[in-house]
């Protein structure tokens, strides 16, 4: 039976550190944890190796368990002096925030901007019209009657076109939403290609097809709710006629889209 050895208190700090480092280096599975007094392997082997390293590095030991009283020092280490608190870092000058990219406008914001631009153009056209209305008598007296009338008529046409465009924009916005209203306004401002014209025509037919489909569904619902056989037959005939129109229009739209330019 191996001899039981106990480290003498207070423990030698240098030998204590050397023993800990030796055991932790030889046994990485300990991961730097302190040894315990648990019985059995491998803790017993760990303690034996630790004691060998402690004695080898100058640590004192004894055969009997040391008796400690309250207040006895555990190690020969002197308490470390209190370290002064680190000085606060120097204040950094405030940096101006980096300019951020403006967010992409929403369809509602684009709609408000377009509506404001249309209103501004309309107001300017009306001002020009008022100006020419006042200028006509002066041009007549100067002999430029034909030019005065031509300019007045041109301004009237521009005012009428602006008023019509504003009304179309409001109607599209109420029916299809701001995004679709902007797309249609762009198509009206820019001459569309033949493909765009075909797509617009197909869109119109699709809207009509949607209305007819809703009517057919409503007729079928009325047929299901009808109480008398005569009323049920009437709604069934109406639903069949509407459904036939829907199938016909679907075929026409597909043929229209498949046509070559």
pTM confidence score: 0.30
Helix, strand and coil content of the chain, in percent to the nearest 5, comes to 65, 0, 30
For the stretch 76-113, pLDDT in tens is 664 444 455 666 677 666 666 666 666 777 777 777 78
- Residue 118 or residue 137, greater confidence: 118
Peptide bond just before 2 cis, omega within 30 deg: no
**What is the token pair recorded at 152?**
């007045």
For residues 140 and 176, what is the distance between their CA atoms, to the nearest angstrom?
Answer: 48
For the stretch 198-209, pLDDT in tens is 677 777 777 877
Per-residue pLDDT band at 244 (split at 50, 70, 90): confident
**Average pLDDT of every residue of the chain:** 76
**Confidence at residue 1, expressed as pLDDT on a 0 to 100 scale:** 53
For residues 101 and 48, what is the distance between their CA atoms, to the nearest angstrom?
Answer: 69
Average pLDDT over residues 34-51: 81
b (16+ CB within 10 A) / e for 59-74: beeeeeeeeeeeeeee
Specify the range with the lowest mean pLDDT, choosing from 140-144, 173-177, 183-187: 140-144
**63: Cβ contacts below 8 Å, ≥ 6 apart:** 3, 4, 5, 6
For residues 237 and 220, what is the distance between their CA atoms, to the nearest angstrom?
Answer: 10
Average pLDDT over residues 198-223: 80
**What is the token pair recorded at 216?**
């057919």
For residues 97 and 218, what is the distance between their CA atoms, to the nearest angstrom?
Answer: 60
For residues 148 and 135, what is the distance between their CA atoms, to the nearest angstrom?
Answer: 8
Average pLDDT over residues 55-79: 72
Average pLDDT over residues 32-41: 78
For residues 118 and 172, what is the distance between their CA atoms, to the nearest angstrom?
Answer: 15
């Amino acid at each position: 039976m191996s001899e039981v050895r106990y480290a003498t208190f207070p423990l030698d700090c240098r030998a204590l550190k050397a023993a800990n480092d030796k055991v932790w280096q030889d046994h990485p599975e300990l991961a730097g944890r302190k040894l315990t007094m648990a019985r059995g392997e491998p803790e017993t082997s760990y303690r034996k190796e630790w004691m060998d390293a402690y004695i080898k590095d100058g640590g004192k030991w004894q055969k009997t368990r040391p008796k400690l009283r309250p207040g006895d020092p555990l190690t020969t280490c002197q308490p470390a002096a209190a370290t002064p608190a680190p000085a606060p870092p120097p204040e950094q000058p405030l940096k101006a925030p980096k300019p951020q990219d403006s967010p992409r406008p929403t369809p509602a914001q684009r709609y408000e901007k377009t509506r404001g631009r249309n209103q501004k153009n309309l107001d300017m056209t009306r001002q020009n019209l008022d100006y020419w209305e006042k200028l006509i008598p002066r041009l007549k007296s100067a002999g430029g009657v034909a030019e005065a009338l031509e300019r007045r008529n041109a301004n009237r046409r521009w005012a009428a076109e602006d008023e019509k465009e504003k009304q179309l924009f409001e109607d599209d916005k109420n029916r299809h939403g701001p995004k679709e209203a902007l797309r249609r306004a762009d198509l009206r401002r820019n001459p569309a290609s033949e493909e765009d014209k075909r797509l617009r025509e197909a869109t119109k037919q699709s809207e009509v097809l949607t209305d007819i489909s809703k009517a057919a569904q409503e007729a079928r619902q009325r047929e299901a709710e009808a109480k008398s056989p005569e009323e049920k037959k009437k709604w069934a005939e109406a639903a069949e006629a509407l459904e036939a129109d829907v199938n016909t229009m679907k075929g026409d739209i597909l043929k229209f889209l498949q046509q070559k330019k």
